[in-house]
């Protein structure tokens, strides 16, 4: 079938919306009509090509839509089901068998290479292959193929009008919320610091508030984002413009050091601040796509004597099938208002959405697909 898709033809090039051919779903694949999809910094990073991803490729990995067709072996969803698309995994390696699919041994191959494991791709342009299957979906398109591994059925009680805002739950939102809830696990009244008040950091902040954390500190370079962080529950905000000693300020606010910190910036110098601001037995988690070869120098004595923990986190350590439903319940209760992070753009405005995200003007751009 013919679909409209935003194609990346070369590193750092603007995306171009073109008509492509999409194959019918194979035995275990699912075709989804994409209603809307989020723009994630991972998409933007791949456009800048820090990853060895070939072009042409269709990116996008925060899709939400409606199932249109299923392969004959698919049992998880049926035609007409509303779905969120999340990250892909093999389902067979030791990590997947241990119920840790975000640490799948084939995570890079199944999410970043833009092809099936047999090397084929479902998209083509004038008979020539275009890489698809980015995070098992390539949802910068009106239609895409996914698998049972990375499709999440939306509960029946979720209203239809919310569907176009659900895509970011499949990556950025679950990454931030899961990092806090599943990994850092702040106890009642503990302090949490979030470095980077983008979509991932804001999700972490809202999650910390939802589970009963006490002092909540947001650190960012954009004043408008800090204002939103206060609206979403931050008790303190710090502007990282170089005029303030961020670590000293956090230690003063928390009375000696934070219990938990989350770095979402993928900047080694900021991650070091996230470690240094912790008190005894503090836990630091970090997410984001740091450049290949990035290193971190730590104070080993400080880490040991204070019992600090540093943990890398992928996709919030989540099982998307269950965790996204938990977040939807929290949102329905008014305890996780992820909708406040989002701004809707038309699909044709995809390059504007990317530019606004890079400029800090929009926390989470969401592209609405044409009907």
Residues 348-362: tens digit of each pLDDT: 999 999 999 999 999
What are 267's two structure tokens? Answer: 């900047």
**What confidence score (pLDDT) does residue 157 get?**
97
CA-only gyration radius of the chain, Å: 20
At 63, phi and psi to the nearest 5? -85, 155
CB-based contacts of 65: which residues, under 8 Å, 6+ apart?
Answer: 32, 33, 34, 35, 36, 82, 83, 85, 139, 163, 369
**What confidence score (pLDDT) does residue 15 get?**
97
Nearest to 270 by CA among 370, 196, 162: 196
**What confidence score (pLDDT) does residue 148 get?**
96
Residues 178-213: tens digit of each pLDDT: 999 999 999 999 999 999 999 999 999 999 999 999
Distance of CA 75 to the CA centre of its chain: 26
Residues 34-59: tens digit of each pLDDT: 999 999 999 999 998 766 678 999 99
- Asked if pLDDT for residue 288 goes beyond 90, the answer is no
Going along the chain from its start, the domains and CATH numbers come out as 2-170+337-368 (3.90.180.10), 176-313 (3.40.50.720)
What are 193's two structure tokens? Answer: 């610091």
At 329, phi and psi to the nearest 5? -65, -40
Q: What percent of the chain has pLDDT over 90?
A: 94
> DSSP string covering 105-145, please?
TTHHHHHHS-S-TTS--SEEETTEEEB--GGGT--SBSEEE
What are 122's two structure tokens? Answer: 């479902």
CA dist 268 and 328 (Å) reads 33
What are 99's two structure tokens? Answer: 């119920």
- Asked if pLDDT for residue 166 goes beyond 70, the answer is yes
CA dist 43 and 313 (Å) reads 18
**What confidence score (pLDDT) does residue 51 get?**
64
| Average pLDDT value over all residues in the chain | 96
Residues 304-339: tens digit of each pLDDT: 999 999 999 999 999 999 999 999 999 999 999 999
CA dist 259 and 282 (Å) reads 5
Q: How confident is the model at residue 371 (pLDDT cuts 50, 70, 90)?
A: confident
Residues 64-108: tens digit of each pLDDT: 999 999 999 999 999 999 999 999 999 999 999 999 999 999 999
Question: Which of the residue ranges 43-57, 238-252, 279-293 would you say has the lowest mean pLDDT?
Answer: 43-57
**What confidence score (pLDDT) does residue 320 get?**
95
How far lies 52's CA from each of 11, 57, 114, in Å? 10, 12, 11
pTM of full prediction above 0.85: yes
How far lies 253's CA from each of 75, 257, 353, in Å? 52, 8, 36
**What confidence score (pLDDT) does residue 217 get?**
98
Dmax over CA atoms of the chain, in Å, equals 64
CA dist 142 and 370 (Å) reads 7
């Amino acid at each position: 079938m013919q679909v409209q898709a935003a194609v990346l033809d070369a590193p750092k090039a603007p995306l171009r919306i073109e008509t492509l051919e999409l194959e019918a779903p194979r035995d275990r694949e699912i075709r989804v009509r994409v209603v809307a999809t989020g723009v994630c910094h991972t998409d933007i990073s791949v456009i800048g090509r820090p990853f060895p991803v070939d072009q042409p490729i269709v990116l996008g990995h925060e899709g939400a839509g409606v199932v249109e067709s299923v392969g004959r072996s698919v049992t998880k969803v049926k035609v007409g089901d509303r779905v969120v698309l999340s990250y892909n995994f093999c389902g067979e390696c030791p990590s997947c068998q241990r119920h840790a699919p975000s640490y799948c041994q084939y995570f890079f191959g199944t999410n970043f290479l833009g092809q099936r494991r047999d090397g084929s791709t479902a998209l083509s342009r004038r008979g020539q292959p275009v890489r698809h299957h980015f995070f098992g979906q390539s949802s910068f398109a009106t239609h895409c193929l996914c698998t049972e591994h990375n499709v999440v059925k939306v509960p029946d009680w979720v209203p239809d009008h919310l569907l176009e805002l659900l895509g970011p739950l499949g990556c950025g939102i679950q990454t931030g919320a899961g990092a806090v809830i599943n990994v850092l696990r702040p106890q009642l009244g503990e302090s949490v610091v979030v470095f980077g008040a983008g979509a991932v950091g804001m999700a972490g902040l809202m999650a910390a508030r939802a589970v009963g954390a006490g002092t909540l500190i947001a650190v960012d370079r954009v004043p408008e984002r800090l204002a939103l962080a206060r609206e979403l529950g931050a008790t303190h905000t710090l502007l990282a413009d170089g005029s303030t000693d961020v670590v000293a300020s956090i230690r003063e606010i928390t009375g000696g050091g934070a219990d938990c910190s989350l770095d979402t910036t993928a900047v080694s110098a900021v991650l070091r601040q996230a470690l240094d601001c912790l008190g005894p037995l503090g836990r630091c988690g970090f997410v984001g796509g740091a450049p290949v070869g990035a290193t971190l120098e730590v104070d080993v004595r400080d880490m040991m004597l204070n019992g600090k923990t540093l943990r890398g986190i992928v996709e919030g350590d989540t099982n998307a099938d269950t965790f996204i439903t938990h977040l939807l319940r929290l949102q329905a209760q008014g305890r996780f208002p992820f909708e406040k992070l989002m701004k809707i753009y038309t699909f044709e405005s995809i390059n504007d959405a990317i530019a606004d995200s890079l400029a800090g003007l929009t926390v989470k751009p969401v592209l609405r697909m044409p009907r």
